[in-house]
Structure 1
Amino acid sequence: MDFYAVNSLRENHAGWSLLRAQNGPLAIAFFMAAFTGPNQRNIGRQALIDTLDDVLFGLRDGLGEDRFPRPAAEYLDDWAAPEKAWLRKYYAPGEDEPLYDLTATAEDVVRWVENLRGRDFVATQSRLTSIFQLLKTLVQESETDPEVRLAELQKQRDAIDAQMQQIRDGRIQVMSGPEALDHFQQLTALAKDLLSDFREVEQNFRQLDRQVREQIATWDGSQGELLESIFANQQDISGSIQGRTFQGFWDYLMSPQLRSELQDLLDRATQIEALAGLDNIHAIGELHQDWLPAVEQTQSTVRQLSQQMRRLLDDKVFLENKRIMQLIRSIEGNALAVRNDRPPATFMEVSAQAVDVVLPFERPLYEPARRVAVDDEVFLAEDGDVDPAALFEQFHVDKARLQDNIDAVLDGADQATLADITDAFPLSQGLAEIVTYFQLASDSPWASISPDVTQQLVWTLPDGSIREATVEQIIFARPS
């Protein structure tokens, strides 16, 4: 970043303007009191005015009545104006009172100002431990050599066995007070950073929503091309690194087993004796309860994007149909006007119908459909009673996951068969997963299906039984 980029940020960035503003200290202090301090979001206008009135009353009592003469409502409107964009003002569905929330830029400024005060205790050991753990996970999970991964797992198992033996011998190592405080501060800092990230992710989704609306409002092409462009933008967002990691976090947080494990760990953390004297120790017990509303609001923004897109497209279709009916009525009116008084010259010319000539040898020859013999046996229960509920037990095959499997195998080879891919990533959903691979091959220009060559695929059912399938050979090639 050079001088011109920094100067452009100084002149145009909302966060820099907050630091330079005359009432910047008032705004930042109020943001801390209303939003970041109590960790609240989406506050109603009246509740926010009451909080700002309390802040202004304390300041005027110490600095004089003329220090901040404007009413609290005017300050809120000023800070939420597009010129400043420190607060986001919006209306929730079915609500008449506007809601306010910090923008991601304003929250970054608040966090930066809070860090200027310095810290009595700086977490260093826990950060070093986190770096080592992340580095180990990065290296181990990216290793493709089975022998190396097995050796690493064996090393971890030996270390666990040694720790278990030490506990059996009565040698229990307990984390000291400073170490516990170090890890606790690192935990709370990461939790706050995560909530701050949600605001930025939500702001990016709202920016996408605004771009889609502008694109629909100014579109001059066909409706099909517009839909293709919009769906491509949505696919880019959901398939981006940010979209995929956010969806992964959502799936992780929605897992009942993982949520139960997280709640158990948080409850046990609040009972650590070394942390009993901290004022905010009980706050971490509800850590995930702060994440759920933030994640749900981000998901709601994504849903609103689809709803708004559908509504705008419906409006565009209505206007197009209305225009077509106006043209039809105009044609009918002109035809009735000249019905009894036809013009002497040519009134309208219509191109004659033409026959498309196709040479006989240009037509493809008849090719009989191939019949695939399915060798399968149906076993019925002895009493003949079959539970029909099995027909409704459907499941979803993730095409994106299978495409990632193909790309991962093609990273080390120019081409690979379906058998090579299933050897690297065993089938977990049986025949449905094989059919999805065939669909990906049919849609891809870099894949070919050889009906004259077959290959054997094997998978294991949850009950331990083995299934085999003989299918046509599929060859996936690396895109050039």
Structure 2
Amino acid sequence: MNLDAILTFLESSPTIRLLKADLAPFVVFFLRRAFKSDSDDSAISFSHDELASRLQVFQDELRDEERPEMLGSADRYLREWSDAGWLRRFLPADSTGPHYQLTRYSEDAIRIVDAALNRDSRLVGTESRLRLVIDTLVDLVRNASPDPDRRLNDLLQRRQQIDDEIASIRSGGEVETYHPAQIRERFYTAVDLLKTLQSDFRAVEDRFEAIGRQVQREAIKDDRRRGEILASALDAEDLIKQQDEGVSFDAFVAFLFAPQAQAKLRETIAEVTHLDALTGERAAIQHIRAMVPSLLAEADNVLRQTGRLSQTLRRLLDDQSAGHRKRTAEVLREIRTLASRLKHHVAQSDQPPPDEIGLKVETTIGLGNPFARPFWTPPQVFETTPETRVVDMETAQREARKLAGLKRLEWDRMREVIAHATGKSPSIRLSQLLKTRPLKVGIIELVGWIQIAHEDGHRIDRDATEEIHVTAEDVITGQTRPLRVRVPVVTFHRTHEKATTPIRTKRPR
């Protein structure tokens, strides 16, 4: 701590700005009542409508008490408090409206005011805090040493102490218990540590939120590839987990989310709240009773920050994947168009094709997540009984005649017809083209022309339609019948303009 650091902190810290604000008493009181109340209606975060409604109720109470403060709208105050850094405004993935929660700066301000107001009325736990410090130091020395002999001697000493106490109790000795003052002292020490722990979650959330903003900034750069974005995000997340806060939080989550640890903690809290020495400490007891749900909610909120980081990363990668897929489809269409032009040029000029034709392909590494694999399930067993099937030769022959009657489309010849037709005029409609080159195969050939228009980048206008007359032939009976087919307006262009509305169809065979 130095003078410059103190000056900078007092001038720029949102915590100090909150404590020095004109409406500081009202802001601190409202934020503590909404987010830190011992009642059941407190929560980690509130939607905009719910928090604004609570603020309006508080403003009505001030007006009833004839306090001429906070006369503005609730929406304005929430916006100003968010801009000042006292509330964090965010949009959850499962909600359409913004939500608010306390920041670490407002947590610090509430804790400072709460500690100052209760300093004179609360028991100062010197003895319990000294024992806590000593126990922490002893635990540190005990578990930091890798010497097996030292650890073994320590365990033997602790076992001897436990055996001596067991023997004393069995022989009728007096059971040593805490004095009521010592019980209250240790109880308030635990309450203070719990409040500090709950407010420390804001710092962990800020770290994950900073990672998300950094990933978004890196993704905006055009020269950043998906692999680089993913690597930077994973490196940043690993760095947080390797830091002291991340290691401590992971251990906290592993302990708190264990069913046995939760059950033991709830049992201990239930026993503590029934102690006679704590009968008059209703507010603190209510705070301790809400300890497990509150800590679980805080941890879940931090984990949601990690989930939001993953969602942001996945959304960025999906957007880039969609762009890559679109670009790949365009490149393939350009390759087919160039190949068709090259073949047409060779056929027209009677020259041999070039000796070397190459492509430069840029590929990316595919990523797979092993946790995405489903759990193993036993294969389904089917009980089958062999059945004797009689082949209907008449049906088989009929289907065989249908298969033999299918006609093959000459794709190259059809593209040559388009090139010849567009060589005389800049563009030609499909209906006009079919007047000079009638359908020979039937309706399947009509689908083939539309498929060529889609693949080669000609124009397909789905907002307009035209009617084309087709003669359909029955491959079995050989009879023909006229059909009128309504299709989108297809225009073949010499310059191969891109289709405005692609139609996905399967290539006929």
What is the match of residue 133 of structure 2? 131
Q: Among residues 162, 173, 176, which one is paired with 1:173 in the alignment?
A: 176
What is the aligned-residue identity percentage? Answer: 28
What is the match of residue 240 of structure 1? 243
CA gap of 1:146–1:340, structure 2 versus 1, over 3 A, is closer
Say whether residues 1:267 and 2:270 are aligned partners: yes
Letter of the 2:71 partner, please give it.
Answer: P
Letter of the 1:206 partner, please give it.
Answer: E
Letter of the 1:9 partner, please give it.
Answer: F
CA distance in 2, matches of 1:34, 1:173: 42
Q: Among residues 49, 58, 61, which one is paired with 2:61 in the alignment?
A: 58
CA distance in 2, matches of 1:247, 1:78: 34
1:403-439 deviations in Å (ceiling 9; x for gaps): xxxxxxxxxxxxxxxxxxxxxxxxxxxxxxxxxxxxx
**What is the 5 A alignment of 1:103-142?**
103-117=103-117, 118-120=119-121, 121-142=123-144
Tell whether the 8 Å contact from 1:219 to 1:226 is kept in structure 2 after alignment. no
State the structure with more CA Rg. Answer: 2
Residue 186 of structure 1, CA deviation: 0.8
Residue 321 of structure 1, CA deviation: 3.8
CA distance in 2, matches of 1:4, 1:327: 60
1:150-203 deviations in Å (ceiling 9; x for gaps): 222222122112222332223111211100000110111111111111222112
1:212-260 deviations in Å (ceiling 9; x for gaps): 1111122514433333222222222223322222111111112222222
Say whether residues 1:155 and 2:157 are aligned partners: yes
Say whether residues 1:206 and 2:206 are aligned partners: no
Say whether residues 1:146 and 2:148 are aligned partners: yes
CA distance in 2, matches of 1:103, 1:45: 16
Say whether residues 1:190 and 2:193 are aligned partners: yes
Please list every run of 5 or more consecutive structure 1 residues that lacks an aligned counterpart in the other structure. 343-347, 354-390, 394-480
What is the match of residue 297 of structure 2? 293
1:19-66 deviations in Å (ceiling 9; x for gaps): 23222222112111211223521122233223222322333344554x
What is the match of residue 311 of structure 1? 315
Please list every run of 5 or more consecutive structure 2 residues that lacks an aligned counterpart in the other structure. 349-353, 360-375, 379-509
CA gap of 1:11–1:316, structure 2 versus 1, over 3 A, is farther
Q: How many residues align?
A: 349
Letter of the 1:119 partner, please give it.
Answer: D
Say whether residues 1:13 and 2:16 are aligned partners: no
Letter of the 2:238 partner, please give it.
Answer: Q
Tell whether the 8 Å contact from 1:60 to 1:68 is kept in structure 2 after alignment. no
Tell whether the 8 Å contact from 2:128 to 2:185 is kept in structure 1 after alignment. yes
Residue 328 of structure 1, CA deviation: 6.4
Aligned-residue CA RMSD (Å): 3.1
What is the match of residue 219 of structure 2? 216
CA gap of 1:72–1:349, structure 2 versus 1, over 3 A, is farther
Instruction: Please report the TM-score for the alignment, with normalisation by the length of structure 2.
Output: 0.62
CA gap of 1:209–1:340, structure 2 versus 1, over 3 A, is same
Residue 330 of structure 1, CA deviation: 6.9
Bigger RCO (CA 8 Å, 6+ sep): 2
SS in 2 for 1:80: helix
CA distance in 2, matches of 1:352, 1:217: 33
What is the match of residue 386 of structure 1? none
1:262-315 deviations in Å (ceiling 9; x for gaps): 121111111211112221324423421211111111112112211220111110
CA distance in 1, matches of 2:356, 2:18: 67
CA gap of 1:219–1:172, structure 2 versus 1, over 3 A, is farther
Tell whether the 8 Å contact from 1:79 to 1:86 is kept in structure 2 after alignment. yes
CA gap of 1:68–1:287, structure 2 versus 1, over 3 A, is closer
Instruction: Please report the TM-score for the alignment, with normalisation by the length of structure 1.
Output: 0.65
What is the match of residue 279 of structure 2? 276
Letter of the 2:297 partner, please give it.
Answer: P
Letter of the 1:19 partner, please give it.
Answer: L
CA distance in 1, matches of 2:340, 2:11: 65
CA distance in 1, matches of 2:150, 2:137: 16
